Structure 1
Amino acid sequence: MISYTLKCDQGHRFDSWFQSAGAYETLRSAGHLACAECGSYGVEKALMAPRVSSAETPEKPDLTAPENETAGKIAKLRRYVEDNADYVGSGFASEARSMYLGATPERAIYGEANAAEARKLIEDGVPVAPLPFLPGKKAN
């Protein structure tokens, strides 16, 4: 696991964990990184100092505890979404559009859409919002 400090094009900074540097690059190039504060997809790595621990007191991060108040709120939102909405995976854009057009019954859903799909949904008036986390179904 690797932790990066990220920043969006609106100036917000936040930390996020990734399985590897390659996983970060894959998510970034696919347009799946969004700002935890404003939802902007203009997210890049910020300049950061390395975390170094001494051999005498090895530092073991507690990955279950939120790092700050915002992270705690995001964790609470994630639990609410996962408990109250259906995960539709990469079919999110088509499922949201189908519900908007009345072809399928409306229900709470979440999943993945790339930036182009999300932009088209918004342009067409389909009510969608980015989530400040990746779906747990895809997390390791």
Structure 2
Amino acid sequence: MSSPGDVPPEILNRLRSICRQLPESHEEPAWIGVRWRIRARTFAHVYAPDVERSPVYAPYATDGREPVVMTFRVPDDDLLGLTAPGFPYFRADWGPNVVVAVLGDHTDWTEIAELVTDSYCGMAPKFLAARVPNPPPLD
């Protein structure tokens, strides 16, 4: 059984390859898991939540392991379209435009790259967001 906050290296490395391409972004340990920030603003946060403390994640636990999730921000216009279909996305309980993505073998990494990039662009100063290639290249 993994510990809350543990993120498998393969997922962490995929996210690192996306985030390191974003101007002036940096990675740091969070209270649980890892987060990426632009200046003092978090644009992506990945972790394995404790399903006993946060039962909203319980349906996504498999084989006795905590799920791995990433939170990020989406433009208000995209919120309903992304979360209405359900898995692997749902709305977080905090912040008006925060979404949770359940990550795993099913993950569409091209879509995750676009979502993380959009989250970054929404949080970054405009001059930095303007330097982001669209679509972002994947390593």
Q: Same fold, TM exceeding 0.5?
A: no
Q: TM-score, normalised by structure 2?
A: 0.25
Identify the structure with bigger relative contact order (alpha carbons < 8 Å, sequence gap 6+): 2
Point out the structure with max Rg over C-alpha. Answer: 1
Q: By percentage of residues, which structure has more strand? A: 2
